[in-house]
Amino acid sequence: MLNKFGPSGLGEAQVQYLDGDFRVVSPGTYVKCGVTGVHIPLDELKYWSVDLKEAYATPAAVLERHHPSAFKR
């Protein structure tokens, strides 16, 4: 039996980030956090920016992207 997503179904997904939702454009199992590079499984994806077209692994990553001066020491 073939994987329904083919060979690319195991790697990084290409996602279109929408207001309150996202659409998988190219199948995969994860996306990368735009700040940390951490792999985020699609079923755990909760945070993203429509304008910047990137995902975030945690609320802290969102804050770091949008308010970087708060994270500089």
**Confidence band of 1 (pLDDT split at 50, 70, 90):** very low
Residue 13: closest CA among 21, 5, 4: 5
The whole-model pTM stands at 0.81
Residue 5 has pLDDT above 70, yes or no: no
For residue 10, pLDDT over 60 is answered with yes
E strand segments, the chain: 14-18, 21-26, 30-32, 39-41, 47-49, 54-56
**35 phi and psi, to 5 degrees?**
-105, -50
Please list the residues that pair with 12 across neighbouring strands. 30
What's the pLDDT score for residue 58? Answer: 97
Confidence of residue 73 (pLDDT cuts 50, 70, 90): low
